[in-house]
């Protein structure tokens, strides 16, 4: 089974797992009971800094130890119809090659949009600057910085439609080799 692994700018170190472990709704949910529920989501994004930590999946893909440090904020917005948006304003992610010490800091100001579909699957839309892990074609793993608009569809049994989109893609491994 192919799996898509997400690396939201903030969740890089705490959520390197299948989509469902990253807070994606597992099925459509009911909209908030009142408009007040949406208004209560106000307020600034919360700090979500993560100290330098070994990125195990990134290390596996790159073939050398990869460390990541996150400085930024996170805000999750629950919308009607079971939709969720995660925003990562002013987030900086530093990747470091554990062998050479080469590092690269990237600004990740993207968003993730989780959209439940009528067939029970979930579409995930990446907008802006984000990092992702994915395998496409099967067995070829990628650890990439993507910029633009990309989508992927997953369901209860796993990946339904691979990552595809419009915008540049850069290998994180190449950035720090």
- Torsion, CA 78, CA 36, CA 75, CA 16, rounded to 10: -30
The pTM for the full model equals: 0.74
Phi and psi at 163, nearest 5°, equal -60, 130
pLDDT digits (tens, 9 = 90+) for 99-137: 999 999 999 989 999 999 999 999 999 999 999 998 888
Res. 31: pLDDT tops 90: no
Res. 177: pLDDT tops 60: yes
Res 90: pLDDT: 81
Res. 95: pLDDT tops 50: yes
Query: What is the DSSP code string of 45-90?
Result: PEE--EEEEE-HHHHHHHTS-EEEEEE-EEEEEE-GGG-EEEE-TT
Mean pLDDT for 81-91 is 91
């Amino acid at each position: 089974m192919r799996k898509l692994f997400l690396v939201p700018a903030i969740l890089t170190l705490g959520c390197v797992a299948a989509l469902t472990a990253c807070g994606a709704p597992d099925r459509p949910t009911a909209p908030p009971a009142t408009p007040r529920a949406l208004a209560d989501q106000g307020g600034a994004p919360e700090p979500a800094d993560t100290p330098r930590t070994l990125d195990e999946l990134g290390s596996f893909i790159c073939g050398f130890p990869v460390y990541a440090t996150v400085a930024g904020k996170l805000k999750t917005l629950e919308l009607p119809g079971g939709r969720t948006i995660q925003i990562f304003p002013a987030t900086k992610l530093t990747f470091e090659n554990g062998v050479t010490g080469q590092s690269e800091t990237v600004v990740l100001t993207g968003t993730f949009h989780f959209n439940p579909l009528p067939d029970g699957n979930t579409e995930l839309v990446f907008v802006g600057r984000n990092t992702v892990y994915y395998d496409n074609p099967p067995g070829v793993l990628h650890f990439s910085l993507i910029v633009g608009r990309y989508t992927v569809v997953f369901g209860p049994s796993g990946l339904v439609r691979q990552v595809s989109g419009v915008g540049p893609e850069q290998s994180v491994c190449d950035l720090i080799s």
